[in-house]
Amino acid sequence: MRIPFIYNVRSVMQRPYSTALTALGIALVVAVFIGMLALANGFAAALAKTGSSANVIVLRRGADSELSSGLGRDVASMIAASPHVATGTDGRPLVSPEVYVLIPLGKSFDTTQLANVVVRGVSDQAWMVRANVKMVAGQRPTSGRPEVCVGQRLVARFPHTGIGQSLHFAGRDWTVACHFSAAGSAFESEIWGENEQFMPVFRGEVFQSITFRLKNPAAFDDARRALQDDKRMTVDAHRESDFYSQQSQLLGRILAILAWAITSIMAVGAVFGAVNTMYAAIAARSPEIAVLMTLGFKPSSVLTSFLFESAVIAAVGGLIGCLLALPINGLVTSTTNWASFSEIAFSFRVTPLLLLNGFLFAVVMGLIGGFFPAWRAARLRVVQALR
Amino acid sequence: MKYLPLVLANLGRHKRRTILTILSVALALFLFASLRTVVTTINASSRFGGARRLVALNATGLVFPLPLSYANRIKAMPGVHNVSWANWFGGRYGDGKRFFANFAVDPESYLAMYPEIVIPPDQRQAFLQDRTGALIGKRLLSEFGWKLGQNVTLQGTIFPGDWTFTVRAVYTPTDPAIGDDVLIFHHAYFDERIGRAGIAGWYIVEINDASQAPTIAKQIDDAFRNSSSPTKTGTEREFQASFATMWGNVSLLMGTIGLAVVFAILLVTANAMMMSARERTGEVAVLKTIGFSDRLLFGLVMLEAGVLALTGAFLGLGGAKLLYKATNFNAAGFLPGFNVTTATLILGVAVAVGLMLASGLVPAVRAARLPIVQALRHVE
């Protein structure tokens, strides 16, 4: 027969301080756990959302990032003529040969702190090739004029990024004509302008990457083979979505490993706390336990009862931890993505799944912490305990 | 101190609780020291830099090169002692999973400028004489099992193709911020293979007098202001610091987590102390009856908390120090010179003292204020 749960709940309330301290300890572990994984999640999500699976990005063979790549105009025109490229409503191929460079910009809060910001020179078609990019304010830069469009995540963090203001880089002034959003992706940390204007001021007659929309997204392998086997060029073709998730792998993995390492060490400490609490509880209540057993409750019922008690304390801690971690959802932070060497801004992402994991993590801590004390309770000798 | 045996006996009564509490304090301080060391290592690398060394970059950004012809012009400027140049190579070894820095330098002038890079004289000679030779950090030697004289092939990511170098020399850095996992090779060979493009990623300028740094930096920038590649010159320390800021909010993040860890363990310790105190209410009353003063009892409880916190701190901080030293940890090359500093250890001990005060205070005050008559009622 089961011992009624109300017995545990009331017992827990008998010693509020000790219970609260244990639960809070667990809450902090859960909050750190959720917070760190939210960081890793947010970073991975920002890059994963950047690429589209319908797009292909072409780099020079062997280049592991856009920065280290270089492609000539001949390659751009060969790709534009490829039968795998989709065509837009105006009948032109959806191809964007792009110039990709990093420039140092001083941050708003401290202009001596420089960050490497991506400047991307795109073709007219880029706005259609990248389906997730949307103008949120201003007018699209006019071809031929020194105008740029700024990703909305840059606006608050860097000075001179308001519409109508001018940014100075590559020895010239560029008027900010518009702001764009890109569904929270890494594009929002970039400055876009016209590729033909950027070419002469940066690296000369060379594109860094060519991105195009696939006519048939399922035919990626055919397109890739056609491009890579083409003797006229030495290129690698990647699905855009894969390319950007690849870029997040290094830092994403570091963050995830860090999250697990830190929280598991913390968790051990918190479990020790739970063990102490439960042993003390059981020692104080051994006469009660003896009475329960005398009444005919089986040792196994005592075991489950105390395990349950420990799990309840931990679950309360888990809930508090989730609540503590919730406010960080959406908080914007930035770091350098070492795979591309550029700074990207992204937001912490607390997902329901993550909250659930945090909660389960707490319950598991409670069960582990409660097991040995509960085992001891179940094996209590009735006669001795009643003395 | 004559009461120490009494305190130890009290702690020994619940051996399991004492051990678990000490271990949780130890884990907390281990984490605290590790997180803190991440921050101090990044800070140390940002403070690295010879006072007499300036770095000149392309003003447009660090991915843009400068013409090699600048070397002679800079060298001719007054106050300049020597000039060297380097170019980031970004080669990948094997599957590329283990990243390490590799760049081409002008070897003779570079090594002359960096006394922090220590090489046995015969190896130094061998490296200087072999155009396709490579100078590597001692960690790469042990990590990949390379040997002197062995050929090592890197795949160029920026400069395509397979690049084979012969390991000619191994260096040991005297300053940990330099990193012991770098591969350095001849700029002349690099330049030849990329078709004599005549480019340098950055210039290192050694000046005669450190106090002249701002003047000379301005002089260099002024000289190239109207050329196709204007420069941005600063001290080497500023150059390093700009890399450190790229980590963004890491310090804040590590600090916040460290705080949460310490606070979580404070709860565990405080709980343990309160449980012990509650169980001993009767005893405290007896001690008071036989003449222990309130102040003494306060001190005894505090001492007990102190033994828990400081033993834990000793284990945790000592463990961190020894572990990172023994494993030669450097976070896969990201944090060269990872070492728990004395300042961190002292801070850790301070945290432990804080832990003692915070966890012992409530039970100690309670013990000191305990009315004897009431408490003795509990004693059966």
DSSP state of A342: E
pLDDT tens digits along A15-29: 888 888 889 999 999
Contact yes or no for A146/A175 (Cβ under 8 A) = yes
Q: Which residues contact A119 (CB under 8 A, 6 or more apart)?
A: A99, A100, A101, A102, A103, A148, A169, A190, A191, A192, A193, A198, A202
Residue B3 pLDDT exceeds 80: yes
Domain shared by B184 and B279, yes or no: no
pLDDT (average), residues A57-75: 88
Q: Which residues contact A326 (CB under 8 A, 6 or more apart)?
A: A350, A355
Q: How confident is the model at residue B59 (pLDDT cuts 50, 70, 90)?
A: confident
Residue B380 pLDDT exceeds 50: no
Chain B CB contacts of A279 below 8 Å = 16-17
pLDDT (average), residues B325-344: 83
Burial, A250: exposed, middle or buried (Cβ in 10 Å; 0-12, 13-18, 19+)?
middle
B166 touches chain A (CB under 8 A): no
Polymer length in residues for chain A: 387
Residue A196 pLDDT exceeds 80: yes
pLDDT (average), residues B59-82: 89
Give me chain B's average pLDDT, please: 88
Contact yes or no for A264/A277 (Cβ under 8 A) = no
Q: Which residues contact A144 (CB under 8 A, 6 or more apart)?
A: A194, A197
3-state secondary structure labels for all residues of B241-308: HHHHHCCCCHHHHHHHHHHHHHHHHHHHHHHHHHHHHHHCHHHHHHHHHCCCCHHHHHHHHHHHHHHH
CB contact under 8 A, A265 and B90: no
Mutate to test the interface with B, among A15, A21, A174 (most CBs of B within 10 A): A21
Domain shared by B80 and B224, yes or no: yes
Structure tokens at B216: 């000379």
Q: How confident is the model at residue A361 (pLDDT cuts 50, 70, 90)?
A: very high
pLDDT tens digits along B232-275: 898 888 888 877 777 777 778 888 888 888 888 888 888 888 88
Domain shared by B271 and B212, yes or no: no
Give the structural domain span for B311.
4-46+248-376
The DSSP string of A294-340 is HTT--HHHHHHHHHHHHHHHHHHHHHHHHHHHGGGTT-EEEEEETTT
pLDDT tens digits along B187-224: 999 999 988 888 999 999 999 988 888 899 999 999 99
Nearest CA in chain A to B18: A276
Whose structure tokens read 């994403």?
A252
| Amino acid at the residue B43 | N
**Where among B194, B229, B264 does a domain terminate?**
B229
Which residues 279-298 of B have a C-beta within 8 angstroms of A?
279
Domain shared by B350 and B283, yes or no: yes
Instruction: Specify the DSSP element, H or E, that contains A181.
Output: strand A172-181
* B134 in any annotated domain: yes
- Spatial CA neighbour of B230 closest among B238, B222, B240, B242: B222
- The ranges assigned to domains in chain A are 5-48+249-386, 62-233
* B241 in any annotated domain: no
* B238 in any annotated domain: no
**How far, in Å, CA of B139 to CA of B183, rounded?**
10
* B253 in any annotated domain: yes
Nearest CA in chain A to B32: A262
Q: How close A20 gets to chain B, by Cα (Å)?
A: 9
CB contact under 8 A, B264 and A21: no
pLDDT tens digits along A215-253: 998 889 999 999 999 888 889 999 999 998 888 887 888
Q: Number of structural domains, chain B? A: 2
CB contact under 8 A, B249 and A24: no
Nearest CA in chain A to B98: A250
User: Could you tell me where the DSSP H helices lie in chain A?
Assistant: 5-14, 16-48, 73-80, 126-129, 152-155, 195-201, 220-229, 240-284, 286-294, 299-325, 352-378, 382-386
Chain A CB contacts of B24 below 8 Å = 268-270, 272-273
What confidence score (pLDDT) does residue B1 get? 65
CB contact under 8 A, B92 and A64: yes
SS3 A282: helix
For residues B195-218, b (16+ Cβ closer than 10 Å) or e, as one string?
A: eeeebbbbbbbbbeeeebbeebbe
What confidence score (pLDDT) does residue A384 get? 76
Residue B379 pLDDT exceeds 60: no
CB contact under 8 A, A272 and B21: yes
| Amino acid at the residue B118 | V
DSSP state of A204: S
**How far, in Å, CA of B108 to CA of B131, rounded?**
12
Domain shared by B274 and B214, yes or no: no
Chain B CB contacts of A65 below 8 Å = 157
Burial, B90: exposed, middle or buried (Cβ in 10 Å; 0-12, 13-18, 19+)?
buried
Polymer length in residues for chain B: 380
Q: Give the C-alpha distances (Å, rounded to integers) separating A8 from A285, A360, B271.
A: 11, 20, 20
This complex has an ipTM of 0.82
Domain shared by B187 and B267, yes or no: no
Question: Residue A265: which of B31, B64, B253 has the nearest Cβ?
Answer: B31
* B188 in any annotated domain: yes
Q: How confident is the model at residue A55 (pLDDT cuts 50, 70, 90)?
A: very high
B142 touches chain A (CB under 8 A): no
CB contact under 8 A, A268 and B24: yes
- Spatial CA neighbour of A311 closest among A5, A1, A3: A5
Contact yes or no for A19/A307 (Cβ under 8 A) = no
**How far, in Å, CA of A23 to CA of A45, rounded?**
32
Domain shared by B294 and B353, yes or no: yes
Domain shared by B17 and B144, yes or no: no
Q: How close B279 gets to chain A, by Cα (Å)?
A: 9
Domain shared by B211 and B347, yes or no: no
pLDDT (average), residues B36-40: 89
Chain A CB contacts of B249 below 8 Å = 333-335
**How far, in Å, CA of A247 to CA of A185, rounded?**
13
Domain shared by B224 and B354, yes or no: no
Nearest CA in chain B to A234: B160
Chain B CB contacts of A64 below 8 Å = 92, 96, 157
What confidence score (pLDDT) does residue B378 get? 57
